[in-house]
Chains A and B, each alone.
Chain A
């Protein structure tokens, strides 16, 4: 449905490389996530696929059409929701929706079934100006506007950034329902916890794809064993761990420290570590093996990438 081949995009006359030789493809009806930190090149990829930017090198197709030559055909088939709220703040919910329906030569009534689930949540405020809506409501409206012309492919650029956790969960529920209707969805997010909600994800950093797989596949491909370490005096603990085990990467993860036991296969690390930390004067020591999350995988890839 969407396919990119060696796409490269630079800015400022080639000095800033935003997207570097990126290739991937998204199947029909798939919920595909682009996961990466700010500035990784996610938005540039979206803008190229939405026919707003021309790539420097490489080619890409959306719904079978080339993004450079057949951009006009693509525009009526895709729904694009930019990272920044970009509907008319001085028009009401209803008016924005009507406007975007009419410019695509359709009506709200015709495709209401597509947006119904989402629209009923903001319908009580249909007379309110879009500029005065809360962050979550703005995103719901933007999604409605991107869906109102019944696109076959949906590009959502960081749809949940700046949205509260409850609205974020609701938003992902909606995406799952849309996927069931056969719409192909390409979504980007800087939140790792959202990655596991996608069918497949691509981890991206500095414009390059680090890995593409299902979330489970990426987690299963984690190369080492991972431990969660907890004790009193966490600030000193992280310092001690990085000093005495410099070859093992340790980082704060919520309330615990994740320790990547690289090159420690067949070695009873929990006991070793507990003894060592007790000797160092720590109390309430807890060391237990854990399953890596997408975030652990991402951090691991970044560390390997940098060294």
Chain B
């Protein structure tokens, strides 16, 4: 244990001398948490709409006014023909074309129904899908409005209608940031833990100090512990800083058990640090370690359930994501921060993470050789 103490002393000295890393550890979470949730947003706004109005009736104008008033659409302009509007789509200036046929108002009043034509630029799938959905719902709303005008309310409703009113639990206002911030915090923690630990041992290989360490009686597990503990502490610091930032800036405070959260983070950090160590035992230069780490980080992040829901992935991808430690952390973060979960709820996740930690660290220790 005395040896570990001296190793730790040395490790912390080196970390505190490396100003760039230290600044990064504090500045990175703050900057990312401030910028990313504001920019990375699923809500689609500013959909460019071009209208081809063949009718020019008050009803048609009312409809367009209602659409633009929703705030999601930006009126690109009125065009004389669909062909003209389509050119705008080709030039990427319009996302949606709404064509109002001649006699829209007249036929609507006379026949009771009328058809509209919507053309969508589907190059940006999300924007197209959400845009046409928004537009359809505005049209439905408009339709209901017209019916209300015509059909005099009677005592007995002519037809029963089912009205669905959703209640959003845990995030009543569907605030996007509530969803995003815990996820970004999870990614940050993974990056800091994984990269720092992987690069640290490889650096000792690169500058040759590992040779000098290897001829000393330091035991393998002492050396690895000496590397794990400092970054474990740093990870907790980064996490706490991130939690404070999200509380101060976004007003997000964990609804659930904070000890359970730190309990999970402790185990999670062990797993991620173990992963970093494992990579460092397979690589000889910092460059190699960096690229391999990046490869895994991309997969971890994209398949971690931060941006896309794991539940909607194909079965094989779902199976793969169970091997992704980040997916557990993202889930636990959202459970504790938004849902108010406690120890009992995160217990299965904790068990899985303990498994990751044991396997990854065990593998790293076995693969770290003091001689070749």
B247 close to chain A: CB less than 8 A: no
Residue in B18, B212, B217 with the greatest tally of chain A CB atoms within 10 Å:
B212
Q: Digitize B180-223: 1 where CB-to-A-CB distance is under 8 Å, 0 elsewhere.
A: 00000000000000000000000000011101111111100000
Given contacts A90-B18, A105-B2, contact A54 B208 (CB under 8 A): no
List residues of A (152-192) whose CB comes within 8 Å of B's CBs. Answer: none
B212 & A87 in contact (Cβ 8 Å cutoff): yes
- The stretch of A78-86, A114-122, A221-229, A244-252 in contact with B is A78-86
Residues of A close to B208: CB separation below 8 A: 82, 84-86
Q: How far is the CA of A99 from the CA of B9 in the complex (A)?
A: 9
List residues of A (46-79) whose CB comes within 8 Å of B's CBs. Answer: 50-54, 71-72, 75-76, 78
Q: Looking across the interface, which residue of chain B has its beta carbon closest to that of A129?
A: B17
Residues of A close to B136: CB separation below 8 A: none
Q: Looking across the interface, which residue of chain B has its beta carbon closest to that of A72?
A: B217
Given contacts A53-B371, A89-B207, contact A78 B6 (CB under 8 A): no
A91 close to chain B: CB less than 8 A: yes
Q: How far is the CA of A103 from the CA of B219 in the complex (A)?
A: 10
B10 & A91 in contact (Cβ 8 Å cutoff): yes
B111 close to chain A: CB less than 8 A: no
List residues of B (205-247) whose CB comes within 8 Å of A's CBs. Answer: 207-209, 211-218
Given contacts A52-B371, A71-B371, contact A78 B17 (CB under 8 A): no
A75 & B372 in contact (Cβ 8 Å cutoff): no
B14 close to chain A: CB less than 8 A: yes
Q: Looking across the interface, which residue of chain B has its beta carbon closest to that of A95?
A: B13
A103 & B217 in contact (Cβ 8 Å cutoff): yes
Residues of A close to B7: CB separation below 8 A: 103
B6 & A80 in contact (Cβ 8 Å cutoff): no
Q: How far is the CA of A85 from the CA of B208 in the complex (A)?
A: 7
B308 close to chain A: CB less than 8 A: no
Q: Digitize B329-372: 1 where CB-to-A-CB distance is under 8 Å, 0 elsewhere.
A: 00000000000000000000000000000000000000000111
B218 & A103 in contact (Cβ 8 Å cutoff): yes
A209 close to chain B: CB less than 8 A: no
Residues of B close to A89: CB separation below 8 A: 207
List residues of A (84-131) whose CB comes within 8 Å of B's CBs. Answer: 84-91, 95, 99-100, 102-105
Q: Looking across the interface, which residue of chain A has its beta carbon closest to that of B10?
A: A99
Q: How far is the CA of A118 from the CA of B3 in the complex (A)?
A: 26
Q: How far is the CA of A76 from the CA of B212 in the complex (A)?
A: 12
Q: How far is the CA of A102 from the CA of B217 in the complex (A)?
A: 11
B215 & A90 in contact (Cβ 8 Å cutoff): no
Q: How far is the CA of A91 from the CA of B217 in the complex (A)?
A: 21
A45 close to chain B: CB less than 8 A: no
Q: Looking across the interface, which residue of chain A has its beta carbon closest to that of B372?
A: A53
Q: Looking across the interface, which residue of chain A has its beta carbon closest to that of B218?
A: A103
B211 & A86 in contact (Cβ 8 Å cutoff): yes
Residues of B close to A34: CB separation below 8 A: none
B14 & A100 in contact (Cβ 8 Å cutoff): no
B10 & A75 in contact (Cβ 8 Å cutoff): no
A86 & B215 in contact (Cβ 8 Å cutoff): no
Main secondary structure of the interface of A (DSSP, over half): loop
B372 & A52 in contact (Cβ 8 Å cutoff): yes
Q: Digitize B1-34: 1 where CB-to-A-CB distance is under 8 Å, 0 elsewhere.
A: 0110011001001100110000000000000000
B16 to chain A, nearest CB (A): 10
B6 & A99 in contact (Cβ 8 Å cutoff): yes
B211 & A103 in contact (Cβ 8 Å cutoff): no
A90 & B212 in contact (Cβ 8 Å cutoff): no
Residues of A close to B216: CB separation below 8 A: 75, 100, 103-104
Residues of B close to A84: CB separation below 8 A: 208
Q: How far is the CA of A50 from the CA of B372 in the complex (A)?
A: 12
A145 close to chain B: CB less than 8 A: yes
A87 & B215 in contact (Cβ 8 Å cutoff): no
Residues of B close to A145: CB separation below 8 A: 212
A51 & B17 in contact (Cβ 8 Å cutoff): no
Residue in A87, A103, A104 with the greatest tally of chain B CB atoms within 10 Å:
A103
Q: How far is the CA of A195 from the CA of B50 in the complex (A)?
A: 89
Given contacts A86-B207, A88-B209, A90-B17, contact A103 B371 (CB under 8 A): no
B217 & A51 in contact (Cβ 8 Å cutoff): no
B40 to chain A, nearest CB (A): 37
A50 & B215 in contact (Cβ 8 Å cutoff): yes
Q: How far is the CA of A119 from the CA of B2 in the complex (A)?
A: 26
Residues of A close to B14: CB separation below 8 A: 88, 90-91
Q: How far is the CA of A145 from the CA of B211 in the complex (A)?
A: 13
B217 & A82 in contact (Cβ 8 Å cutoff): no
A51 & B6 in contact (Cβ 8 Å cutoff): no
A52 & B18 in contact (Cβ 8 Å cutoff): no
B108 to chain A, nearest CB (A): 78
A232 to chain B, nearest CB (A): 49
Q: Digitize B275-292: 1 where CB-to-A-CB distance is under 8 Å, 0 elsewhere.
A: 000000000000000000
Q: How far is the CA of A18 from the CA of B141 in the complex (A)?
A: 83
B221 to chain A, nearest CB (A): 14
Q: How far is the CA of A104 from the CA of B7 in the complex (A)?
A: 12
Q: How far is the CA of A71 from the CA of B214 in the complex (A)?
A: 11
Q: How far is the CA of A230 from the CA of B352 in the complex (A)?
A: 82
- Contact partner of B209 (CB less than 8 A), chosen from A51, A53, A76, A86, is A86
Q: How far is the CA of A125 from the CA of B3 in the complex (A)?
A: 27
Given contacts A52-B211, A78-B215, A103-B217, contact A88 B10 (CB under 8 A): yes
Known: A84-B208, A90-B13, A103-B7. 6 other contacts (CB 8 A): A86-B208, A88-B14, A91-B10, A95-B10, A95-B13, A102-B3
Could you jot down 16 A-B contacts, CB within 8 Å?
A51-B371, A52-B372, A53-B371, A53-B372, A54-B372, A72-B217, A75-B217, A76-B217, A84-B208, A87-B212, A90-B13, A91-B13, A99-B10, A103-B213, A103-B216, A105-B2
B-side interface residues toward A, CB under 8 Å? 2-3, 6-7, 10, 13-14, 17-18, 207-209, 211-218, 370-372
Counting from the closest, the 5 A-B pairs by CB-CB distance are A86-B208, A102-B6, A80-B215, A103-B216, A84-B208
